[in-house]
Structure 1
Amino acid sequence: MSSTHSHKRKNSHLFLQRRNSSSADMTSYEMNNMYGNSNNDSNDTKNSNETELREQSSDDRTFARAQSEDIENQLLPSPSLNWQFKTHAQKFKKKGIVITFTIVSLVLLALFLIPISRLVRTPGKVNNNFSKRSFTIDQVLKGEFLYEEKDFHFIRPPSLLLSHDADPGLYLTVDNTGDGEFLVAKQLFSDSFSINLGKTSINYNDIEYIIKKVKVNYALDKMIIGINIKHEYRHSSKGLYFLKDLKTDTINPISPLSTGEPADISYVHFSPCYNFIYYVFENNLYVQNLHSGRPAMQITQDGSSDIFNGRPDWIYEEEIFSNEKAVWWAPDDSKLVFAKINDTEVLDYYIPKYTNEDNSASICKLKYPRPGTKNPKISLLMLDLQVGTVYALNLIDERNENDKPFKDLIIYDANWIDPNTFLFKIADRTSKKMLVKVYEKHPDFESLDTVRMLDATQYGGWIEKTRRILPIPPNVELGRRTYGYVDIETDASGFNHLFYYDTSKATEGKQITSGDWEVTGRGIVGYEYESDTIFFTANAIGQMSQHLYGVAFNLNGDSEIRTFQNPESKEDFYDYELSSSGNFALMRKLGPGVPFTAAGLLIDVFDANNIHDMHTITLIDNTTIEESLVKYDLPHKRYSSMVIEDNVRINYVEIRPAHLDVDRKYPVLVSVYGGPGSQTYTTKHSVFFEEAVSSGLNAIVLEIEPRGTGGKGWAFKKWATERIGYWEPRDITEVTKRYIAQNRNMIDEDHIAVWGWSYGGFSTLKTVEYDSGQVFKYAMAVAPVTNWSYYDSFYSERYIGDPIVNYKTYRDTAAVINVENFKKLERFLIIHGTADDNVHIRNTYEFIDKLNTLNIENYDMHIFPDSDHSIQFHNSQQIVFRKLYYWLQGAFNGHYKHLETAVK
C-alpha cells in the first residue's frame, strides 16, 4: 500500500525550524512566552484496531462510563480498546443512553459511573424567536441531548511508520448503503480508497448474529469477529470468536476445542505484526500462527478459577491494568511476556444472584482481597516463539536488600522498548516505592537489571496507576543510536511531566516538559519520527481544561514546548488520537460547547472552530442536540475556585438556572466525588443529571473538587495520603458555607443537598457525618463505601497504608462511624445494587444496620437486585436517575419536612 504524499502538507515544519526558515503559517503558541520559566483521577499511545459492535434495543437506555475508570475515576478521555458500533436503524435507539466518549457511535454527553461525569453547560446558539423552557431528567433519558459520532478508528500498522509518506491514514468505519451497513476500510490520504470488509453481521449455522467486536489487520486480509459477548467485570467479557479470511470471504471459528466448535473465549487479539492471534480460554493462554495452517498452541495448562494466565484477575483488571489482557508482545512478534496470577490464597467473596431465568437463586464467587489479607501472587513468563520455550522472569532478587520490601509486590506496568528489551515496574504492597526493571533477551546472553527506584514518600504521595511509556527508536541523523523511551513521572516540583531516557538502562531521565501544570488524560497521544516530536495532552492553560501540546527533543539544550490551540481559549477541552507517523489525527473537542469531532491531517484539525480543509472529514452529527437547544435553555456554568483555610485553593463548578431571578431564593445541590488523584469536574460538555436538576428543579448546583484530587500537583494531592475521609467533608462543607455566605440573598438555606456515587457516596456520607445538619439538610448516596476495610487491598492500602499500622485511620476517618449525626438531616436516600462486585453491598447493609440500632428512620432506601456498581440491570439505570431526581424534587418542595419518624 504505497502512496505519495508530496501534495499533502506535513507537520514536520512545526518543529526543528532553521533559524532562517519561515514559520508564519504555524498555528502554534510558544509555551515559554506564556509561562516563562515557571515550574508547575480504569491509557496508551498505541492505536488499537479493535472495535466493538453493540446491539441496541429501544425499550430502555443505559449509560456507560468512558473507559477504564475505577473507583478512582481515572478520567482518561481516550478510546477504549473496544470500539462500539451501532447499526443505522438503531442510531438513536440506544440501549440506555450508552456511551463511551470514545468510540461509541452514539455519544452521550454524560458518563456516569463513579461518579457521574460532568456536563457541558455552555449554551449553544439558539433562535430567540422560539419559546424556551426548562427540561427535566426525563428529556435527558429520552436522548434529547445526544450527539452522534460517526465510527472511526485508526488501523495500527505492523511497525512504527517513520515518515508521513508511508502513512495513508488507514482507518476502519461503518458505511450505510442501500443493502445495509458494512465495515469499510478507508484512508485519510485518499478519498477514493474504500475496501468493503463485509456486513456488520455474520451468518453461522444458518443463524444471523450481530457482530459485537471486530479487529482487522493492516493488510486488510484477515479479521477477528466476536459475537454473543457477555460482559464479566468492568473490562472483561467472554464470547464466540471467528477468523474471517477477507480474500476468500470464509469464516472459521477460533476454538481450542477438538471439535472446532466455537467456545466461550475471554478475548482474541492479533500480535503486533499480525503473524499470530492469541487468546485466553478457561484462563489458559493460546497462540496460533496464521501462516502455518496449524491449530493454536496451548501455552499454559494450569488455568483455573484461581489461576489466571494472560488475563488479569478481578483486582488487577479493576485497579491496575484496566484491560482484559495481561500479555505484552515484542514489536517484531519474536517473543511475548504474559502474567500468571495465582489467587489461591485470596479471600472469596460471594455474590448472590436472584433473577435467574429458572427462578432459582445462585451464588457467584469472586476473589477479592481486602486490606491486610493475602494478595494475589503474580509472575511474568516469557515465550520465545523462535525457539518455542517459556522462561520465568525473576521479578525480585531476595538476596538484594533493595528488593526485599517488594516480596509482596504489585506489577504496575510493562512494555517492550525494542525487540529484545522488556521493561516492567513493580511496587511494594502499599504502593509507596517502585522498582523499574529491564530484562534483555538475546541469542547469546540475557540480563535483568534494576535501573531505578521511585520513592513516593519523598513527595508525600503514592505510586499512581501508570500510563504507557513511549519507546523512541534510533535516529542516526539526530545523533541517537539506541532505543530509548519517554515516561510520565513526578518532577522535583511535584507535577507529572515527560522524562526522556536515552537508553533502556538509563538510570536518570532528562525532563522535557516542566511547569506548574500536568500531563493529563491519556498523556502521550502520538509521536512523529521525522521531527522527533512527542504529542501529549495537558492542563497548562487551565486546570479544568485540556489542550494538545508538542515537544521536540533537543538533546543538547532545553526542549521547546508548544500548544496548538489558542491559549486565550482557556476552557476548551481537546482529546486526540494520532496515526502511526503523527501525520493524521482524530480530533475531539469535548467542551465546553457542543462537542465536535473531525479527522484529517494533524495540522488541519488543531482548531475545532477552523476546520475548512477539503481533506478533513467531519465525524459528528449534532442534529438532535441542536434541535433541543432551540427548545430548551441550558443552565449557565461557571468554572471557578475559592481560597479556604490554610490558604488552599479549591476548584469548583457552579451551575445556575438559565433565567436566574435575583429576587428569589434557590435550593442548592452539591455534587461530590473526591477520590484521591481523580479529576471529576472539567470543562467537558455534557447534559445530564446535574443540568437537569438545575433546569427542571430550578436549583443551583455546585461541583466541588476537595483536597487530594488530581490535576494540581502533589502539593494538593498529598493531602489525601493516609487521610481518606478527613479533608473531603471539610472542604465540601467549607466551600458550600462560603458560597452561601457570598450569595445569601438568593440561597434557600433550608434546602441544601449533597450527593455522590461510589467514592462520591462515601464523601457524601462523611460530609453529613462532619456537618451534623448545620449546612446540609438532605443527602443522596449511591453505592457508597462506608468502611475502607471492606474495599480491595490494592486501592485501600495505596492511600491509607497497612491496616495494622494505620488502624486508627481505618477506624476513625476511613469509615462512617458517627451515624447519630444523620438524625440532624431532614431526610436522606441510599441506593445500591446487590451484585456490586466493586463496592460490596455489605457497606450499605452494615450502615443501615447502625441506623436501625440507633432507631434512625429519616431515610429512604432503594435496592436494585443483581445490579453491579453501574446499576444497569433490568432497566435500573433509567430508574436510578429518575429516583434521584424526583426524590430531590420532593426534598426541595418540602415534602419530607412533616414525615413522622421515630426520631421526630
Structure 2
Amino acid sequence: MNQSVRGIRSMADGEHYTTLEKNNIVRYKYAETNRGESMLPSPAGNLTITDYAFSPDERQILIASGRKPIYRHSYTTSYYLSAAGSLTPTLNSAEAPRDASFSPDSRLIAYSDRNDLYVYDITSRQTRRITDDGAWNAIINGTTDWVYEEELGFTKAYAFSPDSRRIAYMRFDEREVPLMEMMRFDGKLYNEAYSFKYPKAGGRNSTVEVWVCDLTTGAKERIDTGGENDQYIPRIGWTPDGRLYFFRLNRRQNTFEVIMCEPHGAQRTIYEERSQQYVERVDDTSVTFVDNDRFLVRQESHTGYMHLYLYSIRRGFVAQVTKGEWEVTGIVGTDGKRVWFLSTETSPLRRNLYSIRLDGKDKRRLTQEEGFYAISPSAGMKYYISTFSSASTPNRVEICDGAGNSLRTLADSRELREELAATGRPQKEFFTFTTERGDELNAYIVKPRHFDPSQRYPVLLTQYSGPGSQSVRDRWAMDWEDALADKGYIVVCADGRGTGFRGEKFKKLTYGRLGALEVEDQISFARHMASQPYVDADRIGIYGWSYGGFMALSCAMKGHGLFRMAIAVAPVTSWRYYDTIYTEIYNNLPQYNASGYDDNSPINFARMLDDKRTRLLIIHGTADDNVHFQNTIEMTRALNRCGKQYDMMIYPDQNHSMLPDDTGNVRQKMIEYTLQNL
C-alpha cells in the first residue's frame, strides 16, 4: 500500500503535531519518538471523523462527522465538540451545517446552514443568526456558489476579525444566473430534476457583496467593492492587526487587486497585477501576510516565471525574493525572517523545498532527492513533515527540522516497495521530443514487462493537456493504464503547449483558441511514436478524462485515422457549455472570441471521424454537475447526423469522478475496451 499520514495538524507551540489514526486524534512530538497521546476523551466509537480543527487556545476540538456531498468540495456534516473530557454533539439547532470554524478567541463557532450564516456561543450555547435572506438558487451567505467552489477553490466565505468582535462574509445573489437542470433517476419510479445555478461562458454570474457584522451590536455594514458588479471577489480576510482586505478580479481575469479597508472607511489598493491575457488564478498562497505591514506575493507577470515578491502595506514594493527560469509552486511558511517554498528549480517535473531570506539572499535547498515533495509545516517552521515520492518510489513520510535534517521516518510504503521489486513492475522513463513545428515537449513512456525492442507494440497515449496542468511529473502514481503494461502495451504521455510549470509564455500559447495547439501536439506525439521501430503504427490509441476527454475526441476527429481507438470520459465538447471562470480566463468571453469557442469544438468536426478506422468510446455520468451530460448528448447528436458509428457507456447518477459508485467499473470498462480494440 502507498502509505501516507492523514490529518496532520501542527499545534501552536510548534513542538507537537496531531494526526488522524483509526478514528482517533493522536498527538506526537516532532523531535522525539513517542507512542502518541489520544486527544479524545474516549474512542470515537460509531463516530466517523471526517475532519477536525483545534480551537486557537487548543482546549477544544471541533470534529466533523460524516459527509453528505453537495458538489465536488462542499458537504454538510454533523459536528461534535471535544472539551473538558467530554465529546458531545454541537450546533444541534442546525439542519444542514457546513464550513464551521472557531473564532480567534475560541469562544464562538461560525457556520453556514441552508445559505445563511450563524454564530454559536460555546459558553451560553446560544445561536445568533447573522443573515436571514438565504434561499436555494437565490441568495447565499457565508459560503460560495457553484462556480466559486469549483474554480476558485474555497467554500468558507467568511472570516472572523483577529479580536473576534466582527465577522466579514460574502453574499452571493445568483437569482439572475441561468438554471441548470440535471436529471436524477436514483432507482425511482419517476425521475426527478435536480436544479442548480450554473453560469456558462458569457452568461450571468452571481452578484457578490462583502458585508461585515459587528458581533457586539449586531450592526451590519456593506463594504464598497467598486462600481463594477460583474467581477470576482476571490478571497476576503483580515490583516494581523485587524484591517479587512479583499481580492478583486475583473471579469476578463487580467487585472488582480488587493484592496485594504482602513478603520474609518477609506480604501486603498496595496497590490495590483495586470496581464495582457490573464492573471493566473489566485489561491490562498497568492498573498501571504508576514506581519502587520509586510506581505509576500506569488506572481508571474514581472519575469514570466512564478516567483515571490515582498511588499509593504505602507511603502509598496520592497524586494524580489526569488528569481530564475523556474517557478515557485507554493509557499510553505514563514517565520518573519525567511520563507520556505516549493519550486521547480531542479526540473519542471519535480518539486523541492527551499528556504530563503525575505531580502532574497541566502537561499538553501532543504530536500535532496529528485522527485516530488509535499510539505506540512510546524508553527514557526521549526519542523516540517515531508511526503516524498518519485515515479519509481512510493510515498515516504519523514519528520525534518527546519534546516532539512531528517529526524525520523513515519511511513515508507515498505510492503509496496518490496512487492514492486519482486514483480519487476515497469517504471516510467522520462524523455523529451521535438514536434514538426520545433517545440520541445516533456514526455514519459511505460514499456511492457520483458520489453523487446525488436518487437512491435501497441501504444496508448494518456493525457489531460489543460491550461497550466501537468501530467508528466516525477511523482508516484498508478491508475488503470498501468494494467496495460502487463498486457503487452506501451503507455506514453506528453505535456503539450499550454501546460504548466515551464513559464508564462509556454503556458499562454493556447490562450483564446483552446484545442488548437494542444491537438496538434498530441497528433505530433502519436506520429513520433509511430516512427519508433518498436511501435505498431497501426495500433495507436488515445485516452483522456474531462479536458483530456475533449482532447481525445478532437484527436479522433482530426487524426484522419491515425488513432485506432479513442476513449473520452466526461468530455467537454463545446466550451460554450462550460463555466464562466475556467473558460473565460483561457478563452475570453464568447461575445468577443466566438471563433475560439467554435473553431475547435469536436461537435463541429463530427463528419471527420473515420469510424471505419477509429473506434470511439464516449463515457459519461448523468449526474455530472461539472461537465454536464449535455456535452455528450450534443456530441452524439452530431455524430448521429453524420451517420457515424461509436460506442457509449453511461453511468446513471454518477458525478464527474464517477462517484459514488462506479470508479472501478469505468476503469475496468476502459481496460477491456482497449484490449478488444487496440
Normalised-by-shorter TM-score class: over 0.9
Secondary structure at 2:3 match in 1: strand
SS of residue in 2 equivalent to 1:266: strand
In the other structure, the counterpart of 1:536 is: 341
Compared with structure 1, are the counterparts of its residues 600 and 334 closer, same or farther at alpha carbon in structure 2 (3 Å cutoff)? farther
Counterpart in the other structure of 1:420: 242
Write the distance in 2 (CA, Å) between the matches of 1:174 and 1:544. 32
Is 1:865 matched up with 2:655?
Answer: no
Residue aligning to 2:361: 559
Tell me whether 1:352 sits opposite 2:162 in the alignment: no
Q: Which runs of 4+ in 1 moved over 6 A?
A: none
Is the contact made by 2:166 and 2:214 (CA closer than 8 Å) also made in structure 1? Answer: yes
Are 2:6 and 1:168 equivalent residues in the alignment?
no
TM-score normalized by the length of structure 2: 0.94
Is the alpha carbon distance of 1:380 and 1:814 closer, same or farther for their aligned partners in structure 2, counting shifts above 3 Å? Answer: farther
Aligned residues: 675
User: What residue number does 2:454 align with?
Assistant: 663
In 2: Cα distance, 1:810 partner to 1:470 partner: 33
Q: Which residue of structure 2 aligns with residue 818 of structure 1?
A: 605
**SS at 2:556 equivalent:** helix
- The answer as to 2:666 corresponding to 1:880 is yes
Give the structure 2 partner of residue 82 of structure 1.
none
Shift of 1:248: 3.9
Question: How far apart in 2 are the matches of 1:814 and 1:776?
Answer: 19
CA contact (8 A) 2:627 2:656 kept: yes
| Aligned: 1:580 with 2:390 | no
Q: Paired residue for 2:86?
A: 249
| Secondary structure of the corresponding residue to residue 818 of structure 1 | helix
* Maintained 8 Å contact 1:787/1:814: yes
Are 2:603 and 2:638, in contact at CA under 8 Å, matched by a contact in 1?
no
Q: CA deviation at 1:216?
A: 3.0
Picking from 281, 302, 307, the partner of 1:464 is: 281
Match of 2:59 among 207, 216, 221: 221
- The CA deviation string for residues 115-163 of structure 1, in whole angstroms up to 9 with x for no partner, is xxxxxxxxxxxxxxxxxxxxxxxxxxxxxxx323243512453xxxxxx
Amino acid at match of 1:847: M
Q: Distance in 2 between matches of 1:597 and 1:453?
A: 40
Matched, 1:448 2:448: no
Q: Is the 8 A contact 1:638 1:654 kept in 2?
A: yes
Aligned to 2:414: 622
Give 2:333's aligned residue: 526
What is the letter of the counterpart of residue 415 of structure 1?
Answer: G
The residue aligned with 1:33 is: none
Whether 1:487 aligns to 2:332 is: no
Pair 597,338 (structure 1): closer, same or farther in 2 beyond 3 Å: farther
Aligned residues of 2:40 and 2:85 also touching (Cα < 8 A):
no
The one of 373, 377, 397 equivalent to 1:598 is 397
AA matched with 1:453: E
In structure 2, how many angstroms separate the alpha carbons of the residues matched to 1:838 and 1:506? 43
* Mapped contact 1:183–1:198 kept (Cα < 8 A): no
Q: Distance in 1 between matches of 2:500 and 2:181?
A: 34
Alpha carbons of structure 1 residues 407 and 251: separation in structure 2 relative to 1, 3 Å: closer
Structure 1 residues not aligned, in runs of 5+? 1-145, 158-165, 176-180, 203-207, 258-262, 399-405, 475-481, 893-904
Distance in structure 2 (CA, Å) of the matches to 1:658 and 1:384: 66
Equivalent positions of 1:106-121 (< 5 A) are none
* Equivalent position amino acid for 1:446 in 2: G
Q: 1:788 to 1:509 in 2, by over 3 A?
A: farther
Kindly indicate whether the alpha-carbon contact (under 8 Å) linking 1:651 and 1:704 is maintained by their aligned counterparts in 2: yes
Supply the distance in 2 between the matched residues of 1:527 and 1:452 (Cα, whole angstroms). Answer: 20
User: Aligned partner of 1:312: which letter?
Assistant: T
Match of 1:148 in 2: 3
With 666-675 and 216-225 compared, the bigger mean Cα shift is at 216-225
Which position in structure 1 is the counterpart of 2:134?
303
- 2:36 corresponds to 1:185: no
Q: How many Å separate the matches in 2 of 1:582 and 1:182?
A: 26
One-letter amino acid of the counterpart of residue 576, structure 1: I
Alignment of 1:664-679 (within 5 A): 664-679=455-470
Name the amino acid aligned to 1:841: F
Q: CA deviation at 1:273?
A: 4.1
RMSD across aligned positions (CA): 2.2
In 2: Cα distance, 1:627 partner to 1:597 partner:
14
Q: What is the CA-CA distance between 1:643 and the residue it aligns to?
A: 2.6
Which of 135, 149, 153 matches 1:317?
149
Checking the alignment, whether the CA contact within 8 Å between 2:372 and 2:388 is kept in structure 1 is yes
Q: Deviation per CA, 1:595-629: give whole Å up to 9, x if none.
A: 344343424755xxxx4x4xx35134432x23532
Pick closer, same or farther for the CA change 1:250–1:319 going to 2, 3 Å.
Answer: closer
Are 1:372 and 2:191 counterparts?
Answer: no
Other-structure match for 1:716: 506
Residue 853 of structure 1 corresponds to 641
Alignment of 1:197-216 (within 5 A): 197-199=40-42, 201-202=44-45, 208-216=46-54
When residues 219 and 414 of structure 1 are mapped into structure 2, their CA distance, relative to the original with a 3 A threshold, is closer
Deviation at 1:394, TM superposition (A): 0.4
More strand by share: 2
The question of whether the paired residues in 2 share the 8 Å contact of 1:371 and 1:802 is answered with: yes
Q: How far 1:222 sits from its partner (Å)?
A: 1.8
1:33-48 matches, within 5 Å, as none
Query: How far did residue 281 of structure 1 move?
Result: 0.7
Deviation at 1:185, TM superposition (A): 2.5
- CA deviation vs aligned residue, 1:223-242 (integer Å, no higher than 9, x gap): 22333421111110112222
Give the Cα separation in 2 of the matches to 1:414 and 1:816: 40
Partner of 1:340: 171
Distance in 1 separating the partners of 2:273 and 2:403? 40
Partner amino acid, structure 2, of 1:186:
Y
| Distance in 1 between residues matched to 2:444 and 2:266, nearest whole Å | 52
Q: 1:251 Cα deviation (Å)?
A: 1.0
Q: 1:360 to 1:226 in 2, by over 3 A?
A: farther
- Pick one of 573, 588, 593 that aligns with 1:806: 593
Distance of 1:371 and 1:391 partners within structure 2: 32
Do the aligned residues in 2 keep the contact of 1:239 with 1:267 (CA within 8 Å)? Answer: no
Query: Greater shift after overlay, 800-809 or 465-474?
Result: 465-474
SS of residue matched to 1:339: strand
User: What secondary structure sits across from 1:212 in the alignment?
Assistant: strand
Of stretches 486-495 and 784-793 in structure 1, the one that deviates more from structure 2 is: 486-495
User: Which amino acid letter does the alignment assign opposite residue 127 of structure 2?
Assistant: A
> Structure 1 CA distance, aligned partners of 2:62 and 2:397?
27
Higher deviation after alignment, 656-665 or 210-219:
210-219
Contact 1:256 1:281 in 2 (8 A): no
State the partner residue of 1:132.
none
Q: How far, CA to CA, are the matches of 2:477 and 2:174 in structure 1? A: 40
Match of 1:231 among 46, 58, 69: 69
Aligned to 1:392: 222
Partner SS, residue 388 of structure 2:
strand
3-state SS in 2 of match to 1:296: strand
CA deviation after TM superposition for structure 1 residue 584, in Å: 1.4
Change (3 A) 1:373 1:494: same
Match for 2:6: what amino acid? D
1:186 deviation in Å? 2.8
Equivalent position amino acid for 2:537 in 1 = E
Deviations 1:828-885 (A, max 9, x none): 111000000000011101111111111111x2100000000001233x1111000001
Q: Secondary structure at the match of 1:324?
A: coil
Aligned CA distance change for structure 1 residues 768 and 470 (closer, same or farther; 3 Å): same
Are the counterparts in 1 of residues 163 and 242 from structure 2 also a CA contact under 8 Å?
Answer: no
Counterpart Cα distance in 2 of 1:225 and 1:565: 34
Tell me if the contact between 1:467 and 1:488 (Cα under 8 Å) persists in the aligned partners: no
Bigger mean CA deviation after superposition, 211-220 or 539-548: 211-220
Looking at structure 1, the residues matched to 356 and 204 of structure 2 have their Cα atoms a distance apart, in angstroms, of 44
Select the residue among 552, 557, 567 that pairs with 1:780.
567
For residues 72-91 of structure 1, what are the structure 2 equivalents within 5 Å?
none
Query: Of 478, 500, 508, which aligns to 2:317?
Result: 508
- Rounded Cα–Cα distance in structure 1 between residues aligned with 2:5 and 2:268: 46
How do 1:124-139 residues align onto structure 2 when only pairs under 5 Å count?
none
User: Scaled by the length of structure 1, what TM-score is found?
Assistant: 0.72
